[in-house]
Amino acid sequence: MYAALWRVLPGPVWLRILFVLIIVAGVLVVLAAWVFPWIDALITPTQEVTVDQ
């Protein structure tokens, strides 16, 4: 998969590395902005915590 992605990207090596970094940053932003909050809402629907002393 990574080799296929590398072959599809245009330009010299330094430009390919730049494209890969931009793609990875975009994936991380999407995960942090939409995917992780959605999963968190499914896992922990309530944040109420009580402690008895």
Domain ranges of the chain: 2-42
The alpha carbons of the chain give a radius of gyration, in whole angstroms, of 19
Contacts of 16 (CB under 8 A, 6+ apart): 6, 9, 10
**What pLDDT digit, counting tens, does each position of 11-40 carry?**
999 999 999 999 999 999 999 999 999 998
In degrees rounded to 5, what are phi and psi of residue 47?
-110, 15
47-52 average pLDDT score: 72
Cα–Cα dist 37/47, whole Å: 14
The pLDDT value recorded for residue 35 is 94
H/E stretch holding 2 = helix 2-8
